[in-house]
């Protein structure tokens, strides 16, 4: 089978150094980066003049199908939000609804420059179908919680193993499956110990919420006489394959444990602010050498999945929280959204930077806009001035998913219509 080649010419490449040049993609890999490359042998040529080329953004904490719950319950405290609105609505979900919600999320992520995500939710084989069709790259996990119920625990084991067996390494390797215990306060020690053992046996990663709220921290202390990360360390749960979402309330001792065990963090600033959970000490964790990535959380608590917007909020949150405008500089937060995310998912050899041999997961951002002029420092503009609407072209695994703002793998009009109908259907079931 002949290789497919894509040439992106005359663009500003955000790599180890920022430079003007051209890049050649062959099949699913970056094959060459030069100042000038011939267009004669390329199957497709994309003119990158006036645009910057960045690694595809990596969103390390999502709940894709929650797009159907966008705007359902805003301006509420977390307990009310969950108990009175989110969980009762989620009880009526099914595979078909989750497929439609995931497809909407994939469209939104592609249109805002995300090429890889890390998801935890339900009916994950249906989510995988949406991911496969969209062409995006995803790590999916069935959200497990037993709350001490043995029968429920066994059902969660069975479903998680089913999803791994059915979906892991599918869609030309774009879809990976992890184990997803919801959180220490919703999962028994027995479930968490099983997850640790199975992850090691199967060579899959672990995705878990930890220390999102002060209430959660108090709950774990009251139950186990230890803070969340201390408790997880006591049961030998923590390792380099663990990604902990939120981590808003870690103590200094917990941060030392996180660093020592090589645990990866997903910072979700917009969701944490909207639900008034707090501001994670990201600057402090980065100073300790902890790998911190960036995530949006679900569309019910964000309310979008725009990683360019998330970068700006992440930076501003750290500055105002520490009263120090020099912390979490634009370069730092850009790395969180790219190589930091790839590292958190165990994919740093494949993704997160623009280098020959790495996967062809790339995004062109149009810099010809009033809010991006005058054009000076591209990374500063990307973090502090750009938004998802500035993304022009998205390539994942060597396939063009969007060009000139037009989705090529999904029919945007159909996706939006199906989502509206699915959301009405879901709410009618309550």
CATH code, 369: 2.30.40.10
Q: Do 61 and 29 share a domain, yes or no? A: no
User: Following DSSP, what letter does each residue of 149-202 receive, concatenated?
Assistant: -HHHHHHHHHHHHHHHHHHTTBTTTTEEEEEEE--TTTS-HHHHHHHHHHHHHH
CA atoms within 13 A on the CB side of 337: 33
pLDDT at 317 over 50: yes
pLDDT at 77: 84
Name the pLDDT band for 225 (thresholds 50, 70, 90): very high
What is the arithmetic mean of pLDDT over 69-73? 94
Instruction: Report the DSSP beta bridge partners of residue 181.
Output: 144
Q: Do 236 and 293 share a domain, yes or no? A: yes
What is the arithmetic mean of pLDDT over 8-31? 96
Buried residues in 306-340 as b, exposed as e (16+ CB within 10 A): bbbbbbbbbbbbbbebbeeeebbbbebbbbbbbbb
Name the pLDDT band for 1 (thresholds 50, 70, 90): very low
User: What one-character DSSP code corresponds to residue 90?
Assistant: H
pLDDT at 242 over 60: yes
**Please, which residues have CB within 8 angstroms of residue 326's CB and are 6 or more apart in sequence?**
none
pLDDT at 400 over 80: yes
Q: Do 403 and 279 share a domain, yes or no? A: no
Last residue in a domain, options 288, 311, 344: 344
Q: Do 89 and 31 share a domain, yes or no? A: no
pLDDT at 40: 84
Mean pLDDT, the chain, integer: 96
Residue range of the domain that includes 299: 57-344
CA 392/CA 396 separation, integer angstroms: 14
CA 346/CA 349 separation, integer angstroms: 8
Q: Do 66 and 50 share a domain, yes or no? A: no
Q: Do 48 and 130 share a domain, yes or no? A: no
In a domain, 422, yes or no: no
What is the arithmetic mean of pLDDT over 9-37? 95
- The answer to whether 400 and 6 are in contact (CB under 8 A) is yes
**Span 146-160, pLDDT tens digits:** 998 999 999 999 999
- What contacts 24+ positions apart, CB below 8 Å, involve 217-221? 217/249, 219/185, 220/184, 220/185
Q: Do 362 and 322 share a domain, yes or no? A: no
Name the pLDDT band for 3 (thresholds 50, 70, 90): low
Write the CA distances from 146 to 78, 178, 212, 258, 404, integer angstroms.
20, 18, 19, 25, 46
**Span 84-128, pLDDT tens digits:** 999 999 999 999 999 999 999 999 999 999 999 999 999 999 999
Residue of 177, 209, 176 whose CA lies nearest to 192? 209
What is the value of pTM for the model shown?
Answer: 0.97
CA 92/CA 224 separation, integer angstroms: 33
Residue 23: other Cβ atoms inside 10 A? 24
Q: Do 19 and 75 share a domain, yes or no? A: no
CA 299/CA 209 separation, integer angstroms: 16
**Lookup result for tokens 């267009």:** 39
Q: Do 252 and 377 share a domain, yes or no? A: no
Q: Do 236 and 371 share a domain, yes or no? A: no
Residue 85: other Cβ atoms inside 10 A? 17
Name the pLDDT band for 2 (thresholds 50, 70, 90): very low
Write the CA distances from 130 to 137, 203, 255, 430, integer angstroms.
11, 25, 37, 25
- The answer to whether 147 and 376 are in contact (CB under 8 A) is no
CA 249/CA 228 separation, integer angstroms: 9
Residue of 99, 105, 148 whose CA lies nearest to 125? 99
**Please, which residues have CB within 8 angstroms of residue 81's CB and are 6 or more apart in sequence?**
73, 275, 301
- The answer to whether 193 and 155 are in contact (CB under 8 A) is no
pLDDT at 216 over 50: yes
Q: Do 45 and 82 share a domain, yes or no? A: no
**Tally of helices (H runs) and strands (E runs) in the chain:** 16, 17
In percent, the amount of the chain with pLDDT more than 90 equals 94
pLDDT at 78: 81
pLDDT at 38: 86
Strands 114-121 and 57-62: parallel
CA 310/CA 268 separation, integer angstroms: 8
């Amino acid at each position: 089978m002949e290789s497919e080649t894509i040439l992106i010419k005359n663009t500003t490449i955000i790599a180890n150094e920022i430079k003007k040049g051209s890049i050649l993609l062959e099949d699913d890999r970056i094959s060459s980066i030069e100042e000038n490359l011939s267009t004669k042998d390329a199957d497709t040529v994309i003119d990158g003049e006036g645009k910057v080329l960045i690694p595809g953004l990596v969103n390390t904490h999502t709940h894709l199908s929650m797009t159907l719950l966008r705007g359902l319950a805003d301006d509420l405290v977390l307990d009310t939000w969950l108990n009175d609105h989110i969980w009762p609505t989620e009880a009526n979900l099914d595979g078909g609804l989750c497929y439609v919600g995931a497809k909407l999320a994939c469209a939104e992520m592609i249109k805002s420059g995300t090429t890889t995500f890390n998801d935890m939710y339900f009916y994950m084989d249906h989510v995988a179908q949406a991911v496969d069709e969209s062409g995006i790259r995803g790590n999916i996990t069935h959200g497990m919680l037993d709350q001490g119920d043995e029968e429920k625990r066994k059902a969660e084991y069975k479903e998680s193993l089913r999803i791994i067996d059915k979906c892991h390494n599918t869609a030309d390797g774009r879809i990976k499956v992890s184990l997803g215990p919801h959180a220490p306060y919703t999962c028994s020690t027995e479930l968490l110990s099983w997850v640790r053992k199975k992850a090691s046996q199967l060579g899959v990663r672990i995705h878990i919420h930890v220390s999102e709220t002060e209430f959660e921290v108090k709950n774990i202390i009251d139950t186990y006489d230890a803070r969340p990360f201390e408790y997880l360390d006591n049961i030998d749960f923590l390792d380099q394959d663990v990604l902990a979402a939120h981590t808003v309330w870690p103590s200094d001792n917990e941060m030392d444990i996180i660093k020592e065990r090589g645990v990866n963090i997903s910072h979700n600033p917009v969701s944490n602010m909207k639900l008034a959970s707090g501001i994670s000490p990201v600057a402090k964790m980065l100073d300790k050498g902890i790998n911190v990535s960036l995530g949006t959380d679900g569309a019910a608590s964000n309310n979008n999945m725009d990683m360019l917007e998330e970068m700006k909020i992440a930076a501003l949150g750290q500055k105002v929280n520490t009263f120090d405008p020099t912390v979490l500089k634009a370069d730092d937060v850009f790395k969180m959204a790219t190589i930091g995310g790839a590292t958190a998912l165990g994919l740093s050899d494949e993704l997160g930077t623009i280098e020959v041999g790495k996967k062809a997961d790339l995004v062109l951002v149009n810099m010809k806009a009033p809010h991006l002029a005058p054009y000076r420092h591209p990374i500063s503009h990307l973090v502090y001035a750009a938004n998802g609407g500035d993304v022009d072209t998205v390539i994942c695994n060597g396939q063009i998913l969007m060009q000139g703002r037009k989705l090529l793998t999904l029919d945007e009009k159909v996706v939006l219509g199906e989502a509206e109908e699915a959301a009405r259907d879901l709410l009618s079931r309550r």
